[in-house]
Each structure stands twice: as structure tokens, then as C-alpha cells.
Structure 1
Amino acid sequence: MTETQTTDETAEATRPALLEARDLHVEFSSRGRRARAVDGVNLSIGQGEIVALVGESGCGKTTLARTLLGLERPTSGEVRFGGAALDYGSKALKAYRRQVQLVLQDPTGSLNPRHTVYEAVAEGPRIHGLPDEREIVASALSRAGLRPPERFFLRYPHELSGGQRQRVVIAGALALDPKVLIADEPVASLDASVRGEILALLLRLREELGLSALVVTHDLGLAWNIADRVAVMYLGRIVESGPVEQVLTAPRHPYTQALLSVLPESPERVVLSGEPPDPTRIPGGCRFHARCQVLASGKAAEVGVDAKCRSELLDILPAVPGAQAACHYAEAVS
């Protein structure tokens, strides 16, 4: 290992957490039962770091993102920003949302068709009473790659391409000069030719502004291209996390392996049986065991952990920079 690699890894390990979830639980009532949408999550995002949160639809990613934004209150655990627990008073939340901004997946749905680009980007600064509105809007559009910004002021969303609309949404977030962006499937609705441009923009914003980001996605290919670290979520809990290259080149959890198998370069496709279980009825043992290809193939039995997979609960993963997986089989063969 070179001296440069050691220095980089030390910096990664000691990077202070800017936004954190600590033992976060979020529950909802569903047909008389409690749905555990987020069921014990530890997650940290450092200054200038991009973390990808990956998993199937219904795994709890969006609920976790909404809770980090202060839009949902946790049942237990806490959200921390800058080392302090999130205050849910109206004034404190308003100030917090200047620092942590949301970028939604559907720019068409995010933008009011009756509002011009200028009005869309100016909405946040007006809510927060910021001076020099025109200068803020122009600067935000320019940072988002819409130049010269004045050329876009009076345009309406239907006059823009999909990529331009997404840039307007990003400009609306940048207008408040946030420290963290939470991007929910930021390129899912865009053509393949435009996806790379938006991902490059997010990386450039990180370099130029020191922005941190949580990118919520079902696409591990996107995570590979943009993230420093990846957290894989299944049924309300993070089941594997670590540096993106380490996790995606040598995944230890069978669920991560299955998600990766759909990528074109994967040598073998893993087809998971069934759907994710009902979050009101999370199974005992490993929550993935009913769909696990390693258990079904007999590999877990070969190393003597099949009974543990079906009956023994796994510890909640801590928020650490190194690679880790919540899996009895992975622990047995490591």
C-alpha cells in the first residue's frame, strides 16, 4: 500500500459526520399493525462525501430519506446534523432545511407548470427572506449548468428538455446554499444520454462547493459512478455498507450479490424468489432468509449456519467507513 493510499484511507476514516442517523426507527400504522419502515439504521454522511443508498422499491429508502430531511419524525433514535440532534420546532426545521435540500426524481412533477424558471428557483430564497434574489437565482442556474442564466428566466417547464428541467430542480436546491443534497432517484426519469450529464454535475458541485449528498437509488451502476460509499438497504435495515469499490467488486451479502447480478457485465444472473416481506411481518432470523439464494442452494448448510439464518437475529450495523455485512454466512466464510 502506498503512502498516498494510507493518507486517503485515514482521511476517510476520520472525516467528521455532517448528517447522521443513529439507531433510527420509523413505524407506521397499517391495517391495525405496525409497519417497521425503518428498523434500526445507522448511517453517516461526511463533509464533501457522496453516499448511495441502494435497494428495491419498498425497502425503506424513501422513508429514511424523508426522515433525514425532517419530513418524518422517528419513532425512536435520532437524526443529527453538525453534531447536534435535530430540533423539530418550526423555526429550527426551517433553518435546517436551508442546509439539507431535496432533489426529486421527477423534474416535471417537481416544477409548477405555471411558474417560470425564475419563479421556481426564487421560491426558496423568498420563503427564507434572502436578499439579492435575482443574483441568487442567476448564480444557482449558472452553477447548475444553465448558462447564460438570464436566457432561462422567463421560460416555462414545458419549454425545456428533461435534463434542463432537472437542472432547474437542482438550481432550486442550490439557491439556498445547502451543505447536503438528498437526491431521490435523481436520473431515473431521464434519457440515458442525459443521465451522465446530471451525474457529472453532482460530482462537480461536490468539488466546487464541498457539497455532501445522499443519492437514493435502486441502480448499483449509478452508485458505482457517483458514490464514495454505498449502503444497501433491505426491509428497513442496512444489510451491507462500505467503500463503493470494495462493496461492488466483492459483495458479501447475498442480497447485494443479487442486485449486482442484473448489471450487463455480471457473469451470472441471480433471480430472487418472491417479493420483499410485509414490513408489518418481518421474519425472524435473517430478514432476507426466505429469499436467500445462498440458503436455498445449501451453501449455508455446508458451513453450518442454515439454522442461524432462519432463527438468529443479526446485529444492527454501525455507521463505520469500512466494509461490513449483516450475514451469518458471510461471517462464517470470512
Structure 2
Amino acid sequence: MTTPTPSSPASPLLRAEGLHVTYPGRRGEASARAVDGVDLDIRPGEIVALVGESGCGKTTLARSLLGLVSPTGGRVVFDGRPLDYTSRALKAYRRRVQLILQDPSGSLNPRHTVYDAVAEGLRIHGYGGDEQAAVAGALSRAGLRPPERFFLRYPHELSGGQRQRVVIAGALVLEPELLVADEPVASLDASVRGEILALLLRLRDELGLSALVVTHDLGLAWNIADRVAVMYLGRIVETGEVEQVLTAPRHPYTQALLSVLPEAPGDPIVLTGEPPDPSRIPSGCRFHARCQVLAGGEAERAGVASRCRTEDPGILDGGGEAQVACHYAATNSTSNPSELAR
């Protein structure tokens, strides 16, 4: 089977359509809009990186795509069908879509052997085949060879990288079509991070897996993703092919995130203030209160400052083309991105 390339016209395997997730406020407070209108496609064989600072809503979005959180608006579509939230349908769905968490120590029961940890999903889903062969195959694909050496080991006997490979094997044993990886290497040493990222890429190439990788690390996105979606305050503000977005960022928020990478040219862009409360999202562009382009006067000179403060740029389409939710970027599409960040 040929794995579709990111640029192929394959229909999305997973799609978020106008997704909203709202949490009720306490004691009469306004509801918190954790996810505030998101369209996002993930095609077969594609790795999409969802990036943004802590609290932007990316983990809530990932949980809603997994069916762990029911949306308050919009819908999730998988393989052409809207997600059904009945227990039986979700069980079948989660066999095809698996979650990989950032902390392998917290994901593994310390009292379970590696064999039991990997076999757990098979037992939950009533696997009728050769369990031992399936577990051995998953461990081998995750890079733990020979797999039989690991069957009777416990998590505390493994390194951090080995524990993460066990978590990945536990996801692979069900032969899913999509992995959702939430900060999959955040808790690992730098020397092991590259190995796990290389493993995820190899699994994509060999098995045709799709993946959504949730991260705050744009360097990780550069190394693993085909496409990147940058999220701020519950909404995707810039998206496109990873090389295009990370070498020529158009949204001031993306520029600020990139500016603090060690290899970034020039001085880091220091954003003022903290991200707004999701229960009190500002009018206009939700980034305008912290925007260095607006604060520096460039938006005023371009004649869009008033729109930045009062007019919502809208929800980006979930497809693969480059898009940005920024009034200034829209009027300066030919500008040098490094100049926009000054």
C-alpha cells in the first residue's frame, strides 16, 4: 500500500468542524471557551503538529478529537462519519485512534509487567488472536528487541526512553490508524528525544499511520511534522506546511514563539502580559492585547489597527493550505516576515 503524501488530495482521516469546547464558570462567572471554533484536518499518513504555549487549548482540542471530551459545538468526523459518543461506538473508535501521553511513568501501572501493559488494550477489546505474538510484534515495532527480554520487566526497571517505547507499543498493538501524541518527548532526556521522534517517523513510513503531535516546542514540530497548526487562546491562528510556517511565519504570535528558539536570528520577542482568561476573550483579534506589531505602530501605519481591536479575523479552514488569522498579515502578504517581527 502506498502511503499518501501530505500534498496528496486524500480525504481527511480525521476532521474537526467548527469545534467548540466550553466549561461552565463557577458562581455566576462566564463560561471558559477552551476551544473556541477550530477546523482541522488530518489526512492519511500525515503528521500534524499542534503548537502553542501552555493554556492555549491544545490539549483540550486533542482530548475532544479522541472523544474524551464532548464538544459543546461543532463536530468531529472520522473516516467520513461524525463521531458517535455512545459507549460502544467510542470503544470501537479508540481502537482506531490511540493516545500517547507525555509522561510514560504516569501512563504505566508500576505493578504491571511490560507484557501486561501492552496486552491491556487487546484484553479490553476482546482480541481473539495470538496475544503473545501481537505483544511481541508491537514491542519489536517500538524498538524493544528482542521483545521477549522485556515481557517480565516492570516500569521501574526501564529507562525513560524504554518506558515511552512501551507506551507506544501499547498503542500500536491495536493496529490504529491515527496516533494522538501529547508532548511525547517532553519528559525525556535530549539524547533520547531524537530516537523517539525517529521512531514515530518510521512508524508513519512503514505502517501509514497518521499522527497529531501536541507540543509547545516548535523545534520538535520542525523535526517531525508535515504540517503545523499554531493555536492561541482556543483557536488556530496560523497553519500550513511546516517548512513554510516555520521559515516564513506571518502571524505575530508565531513569530514570537520562533524568536525564542536558540538558533533564531535576532533578539527574542518578549510578549507583554499573560494570555487572556478564556472566559474573557478580547474583542477583535484575540492576540491584539499582546501583539508586538500593534504595539509597535506597524498595524496603525498599515491602516488596520482599528480592525485588530474590533474585528475578529475568523476561523481558519482546516485544510492544508497556508493560512493566517491576522489583519496585518493579510494586508502585508508580500512583506518580509522578519520585518513584521521587529
TM-score interval, smaller chain: over 0.9
**2:73 equivalent to 1:76:** yes
Distance 1:222 1:108 in 2: 21
Q: Give structure 2 stretches of 5+ with no counterpart.
A: 334-342
Listed as ranges, the matches of 1:79-158 within 5 Å are 79-131=76-128, 132-158=130-156
Root-mean-square deviation over aligned CA pairs: 1.0
Q: Give structure 1 stretches of 5+ with no counterpart.
A: 1-7
Distance 2:215 2:226 in 1: 14
Fraction of identical pairs, as percent: 75
Residue of structure 2 aligned with 1:241, choices 232, 239, 243: 239
Contact 1:146 1:152 in 2 (8 A): yes
Distance 2:212 2:273 in 1: 29
Q: Tell me the alpha carbon deviations over residues 23-46 of structure 1, each in whole angstroms, 9 at most, x when there is no partner.
A: 000100122321000000000100
Seen in structure 2, the aligned counterparts of structure 1 residues 308 and 13 have a Cα distance that, compared at 3 Å, is: farther
Distance 1:185 1:316 in 2: 25
Residue in 2 that maps onto 1:327: 326
Residue in 1 that maps onto 2:23: 28
Distance 2:324 2:260 in 1: 20
Distance 1:251 1:123 in 2: 43
Secondary structure of the corresponding residue to residue 17 of structure 1? coil
Residue in 1 that maps onto 2:279: 280
Listed as ranges, the matches of 1:1-334 within 5 Å are 12=7, 14-31=9-26, 32=28, 33-131=30-128, 132-267=130-265, 268-334=267-333
Secondary structure of the corresponding residue to residue 90 of structure 2? helix
Distance 2:212 2:271 in 1: 27
Distance 1:30 1:104 in 2: 28
TM-score by length of 1: 0.96
Distance 2:318 2:225 in 1: 16
Secondary structure of the corresponding residue to residue 231 of structure 2? strand
Distance 1:272 1:197 in 2: 33
Contact 1:13 1:321 in 2 (8 A): no
Secondary structure of the corresponding residue to residue 24 of structure 2? strand
Distance 1:74 1:149 in 2: 40
